[in-house]
Amino acid sequence: MARILLVEDEPGVRLALRLLLARAGHRVIEAETAREAWERWREAELVLLDWMLPDEPGLRWLKRLREDPAGERLPVLMLTAKAAEGDRVAGLLGGADDYLTKPFSEAELLARIEALLRRSGYGKALRVGGLELDPEARRVRLEGREVPLTPREFDLLAVFLAAPGRVFTRDELLDRVWGPGYLGTPRTVDQHVAQLREKLGPDWIETVRGRGYRFRGAR
């Protein structure tokens, strides 16, 4: 189960894909335009990207994504109605990890998504120093000892551990952990960071003044 950004402007196709992905257990973030997709990709663990969007070609959007250090390695599966081999090559050169031509079977799409998630290390245990987080079992161990975390604390730590050293703003963390519909304030993030510091020790998560928080990677 992953958070998938579905970038597709045709309502019928988008609805069908949303239902399919939700049935497979994924959480779907929908975007109709390249602009919307740009606002949401930081929440996603994989992107399904339509080739033709009303405001910007999918490939150009992808190029921008790859130029952002945080978007460099985000798995992207391109969807297109174009069947020409030349486009396939262009899609891969443009930084897509995989490519599907419409119409495709539901089973094939789900299989490609699973393969991409596996390749990107999704679901694998994350280890930094003596800290280990197992996303499947939703357990955290520190120096081999289990640390009981609330679901929100767990999700917050998972975001940090996936990108040690990266600075996250409070708004980014709110979006990723609580979801964009959540009416929380940046204070909510501060409280949860404080709880994590209490349970794991004070030095893992660093406050970056005026910007947000960063996971330090080692004590």
Q: Which residues sit at the interface with Ca ion, rule CB under 5 A?
A: 9, 50, 52
Q: Of 150, 163, 130, whose CA–CA distance to 191 is shortest? A: 150
Secondary structure (3-state) at 43:
helix
CB of 200 to Ca ion, least distance (A): 45
Burial of 52 (0-12, 13-18, 19+ CB in 10 A): middle
**DSSP H helical segments within 52-185, as ranges?**
58-67, 85-93, 106-119, 151-162, 170-173
Closer CB to Ca ion, 34 or 189, in the complex: 34
**Closest residue to bound Ca ion by CB:** 52
Q: What is the Cα gyration radius of the chain?
A: 18
CB of 36 to Ca ion, least distance (A): 13
Please list the helix, strand and coil fractions of the chain in percent, rounded to the nearest 5, in that order: 40, 20, 35
CB of 17 to Ca ion, least distance (A): 12
Closer CB to Ca ion, 91 or 212, in the complex: 91
CB of 91 to Ca ion, least distance (A): 14
Closer CB to Ca ion, 33 or 120, in the complex: 33
Closer CB to Ca ion, 58 or 75, in the complex: 58
Closer CB to Ca ion, 28 or 196, in the complex: 28
CB of 110 to Ca ion, least distance (A): 21
User: Which helix (H) or strand (E) is 34 found in, with range?
Assistant: helix 34-40
Closer CB to Ca ion, 53 or 177, in the complex: 53
- Buried b / exposed e along 76-112 (16+ C-beta atoms within 10 A): bbbbbeeeeeebbebbeebbbbebbbeeeeeeebeeb
CB of 53 to Ca ion, least distance (A): 6
User: Which helix (H) or strand (E) is 28 found in, with range?
Assistant: strand 27-31
